[in-house]
Amino acid sequence: MGVKDMAETIRHGGSGVPEDEVQGATSAAAVGKHPIHPTIIPFPIAFLTATLATDVAYWRTGDPFWAQSSRWLLRAGLASGVVAGAVGAVDYAAIPRTRKHAVGPLHALGNVTVLAIAAANLMGRRRDPEEGVVPRGLALSAATTALLGLTAWAGGELIYRHRVGVVGEVDESTDGETGNDRVASPGGIVPVPAGDARALEYAGETAGEPVAR
């Protein structure tokens, strides 16, 4: 899929959960079914975006403290980013729906690009952290932050729209009195009409309440 096609797919992706993705796709890299990737990913995001702030601080003040801080933040961002990326790659390979939608490759390839830019940024500061800040380092930090915003949005789409890493599987048993399916959801086990995919999409805000139509 080309960049133009990917952009069009994202633009016209719709606002609802696809009917074939109402059930969650449990993470393959998880502890007690809790996915590891979203637990780790805030660290590289925080470190790498903070680098832009410390670069700007050095640019405005000339204080060497900020240049040194940027270099350490880049190191921490790269180290934590590699770990988060490795764990995320497990889910990307194991869960087909991560590769089915344009936001999946966007999230994966975008984050690989983020790490490559951050590595180039750090290399430019290996000898003199102050000399590497303006203008090259500052520009690379800004590009990293902007791209992280895009890949974070794509990651949110995978979780909240396509339910990657979400535990919410259909219970094979049925409600003996009504013949309804029973669905595990954030609000508890909710009975919904058997085979009604639309109902499954909206079930779960409060256990036992009628399903929204």
Residue 23: pLDDT band by 50, 70, 90 thresholds? confident
Beta-bridged to residue 164, according to DSSP, are: 25
What is the C-alpha separation between 123 and 132, in angstroms, rounded? 9
- Could you report the per-residue pLDDT of 165-201, keeping only the tens digit for each? 988 653 333 333 444 444 444 444 455 554 455 544 5
State mean pLDDT over 95-113: 96
Q: Specify the 3-state DSSP secondary structure of 174.
A: strand
pLDDT of residue 13: 52
Q: Is the pTM of this model over 0.75?
A: no
What is the C-alpha separation between 125 and 123, in angstroms, rounded? 5
Q: Specify the 3-state DSSP secondary structure of 210.
A: coil
Residue 16: pLDDT band by 50, 70, 90 thresholds? low
Return the domain boundaries, the chain: 27-161, 170-202
State mean pLDDT over 45-68: 98
What is the C-alpha separation between 35 and 199, in angstroms, rounded? 26
Instruction: Give the pairing of strands 170-174 and 34-35.
Output: unpaired
pLDDT at 87 over 60: yes
> Where do we find the tokens 């801080």?
69
Q: Is the separation of the CB atoms in 159 and 166 below 8 Å?
A: yes
Residue type, 88: G
Task: Identify the weakest region by mean pLDDT among 21-35, 60-74, 139-153.
Answer: 21-35
